[in-house]
């Protein structure tokens, strides 16, 4: 069976399954071909123009660009087909799309209202009427309803809004897995899925904070879910979402967080009986630039980080460098 994936991203970063020769190295168990029938593996693309250009060597990609002059939502984004997408759209491929399951994935950093209000200086040039949660939620809900994705990954979901607002998505057929950031933070990440299409089989609520580990001292989190396809019960898909540390001077922390997340993805995706992997979809707000070492790890499958700068994951200009092993073996 071939699973055809239509990936739609409206904000932030989305990952798309792709073909690669790379393997995750170091402490991570190798993630082999995640999509067995399609021979696809994890890769990344950005929605901004610079990142898209740098990711243009990847074979399968869907992306949206903002049209600054557009006013209506329908004009804000457009879809660009890849070579494969064009062939499927025009019926010029050997892939039997009639016997495949096509579903839509949407990833959004919704900007938690409490964080917005704590950092109002960032929005001093915005119309304050557009910053209220009531206004933003109405637009967000309509966007979700109109797009109607089978899988919806959200970052910065305020915990208090789960019952008061996001529960409304139950009426649209969604169920969810949510993980709040640790410590005093009131937002987190969530994976919503259409219960008529998927059945939750396993999940991992990932906490990146680990006492005694200096590069895992932040309260970011992730969610990994294994969803069984109701129409094809012999097949499942792994969906992950996260929101990595923002601090641009702590690339070492982002690298460590990514390693932990990939290890959890590996654990849920690996099929012991066949030594193969379920398909993997990874989404989130990764706070990355295209030349960052973390980006390289995910897109190319490996990163030799020993001796690199902790701040930038580039050639070090001082003695603040990464060791050969970033995380303790016990993790």
pTM assigned to the model: 0.75
- In-domain check, residue 329: no
Q: Residue range 118-133: average pLDDT? A: 94
Domain that holds residue 97: 3-300
- In-domain check, residue 154: yes
Using DSSP's 3-state secondary structure scheme, residue 142 falls into: helix
Q: Total structural domains in the chain? A: 1
Tokens found for residue 267: 């654990």
- In-domain check, residue 316: no
Answer whether 196's CB lies under 8 Å from 173's CB. Answer: yes
- In-domain check, residue 107: yes
Helices and strands in the chain: count of H runs, count of E runs: 7, 13
Q: Residue 178: which CATH number?
A: 3.60.10.10
- In-domain check, residue 277: yes
Local confidence band at 299 (pLDDT 50, 70, 90 cut-offs): confident
Q: Which of 19-23, 71-75, 150-154, 246-250 has the lowest mean pLDDT?
A: 19-23
Q: Is 275 exposed, middle or buried (0-12, 13-18, 19+ CB in 10 A)?
A: exposed
**Which of 262-271, 294-303, 308-317 is modeled with the greatest confidence?**
262-271
Q: Bigger pLDDT: 99 or 207?
A: 207
Local confidence band at 37 (pLDDT 50, 70, 90 cut-offs): very low
């Amino acid at each position: 069976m071939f699973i055809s994936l239509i990936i739609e991203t409206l904000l932030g970063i989305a990952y798309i399954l792709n073909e690669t020769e790379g393997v995750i190295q170091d402490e991570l168990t190798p993630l082999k071909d995640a999509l067995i029938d399609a021979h696809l593996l994890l890769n990344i693309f950005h929605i901004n123009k610079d990142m898209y250009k740098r990711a243009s060597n990847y074979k399968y990609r869907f992306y949206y660009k903002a049209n600054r002059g557009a006013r209506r939502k329908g004009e804000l984004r457009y879809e660009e087909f890849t070579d494969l997408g064009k062939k499927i759209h025009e019926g010029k491929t050997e892939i039997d799309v009639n016997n495949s399951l096509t579903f839509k994935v949407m990833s959004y950093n919704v900007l938690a209202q409490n964080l917005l209000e704590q950092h109002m200086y960032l929005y001093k040039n915005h119309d304050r009427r557009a910053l209220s949660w009531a206004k933003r939620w109405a637009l967000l809900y309509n966007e979700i309803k109109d797009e109607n994705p089978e899988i919806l990954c959200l970052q910065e979901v305020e915990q208090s809004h789960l019952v008061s607002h996001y529960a409304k998505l139950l009426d649209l057929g969604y169920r969810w897995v949510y993980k709040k950031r640790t410590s005093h933070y009131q937002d987190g990440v969530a994976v919503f899925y259409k219960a008529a299409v998927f059945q939750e089989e396993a999940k991992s609520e990932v906490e990146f904070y680990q006492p005694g580990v200096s590069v895992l001292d932040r309260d970011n989190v992730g969610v990994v879910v294994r969803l069984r396809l109701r129409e094809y019960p012999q097949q499942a898909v792994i969906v992950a979402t996260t929101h990595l540390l923002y601090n641009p001077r702590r690339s070492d922390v982002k690298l460590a967080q990514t390693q932990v997340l990939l290890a959890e993805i590996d654990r849920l995706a690996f099929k012991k009986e066949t030594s193969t992997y379920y398909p993997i979809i990874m989404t989130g707000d990764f706070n990355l630039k295209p030349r960052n070492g973390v980006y390289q790890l995910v897109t190319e499958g490996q990163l030799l980080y020993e001796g690199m700068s902790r701040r930038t994951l580039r050639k070090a200009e001082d003695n603040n460098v990464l060791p050969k092993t970033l995380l303790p073996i016990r993790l």
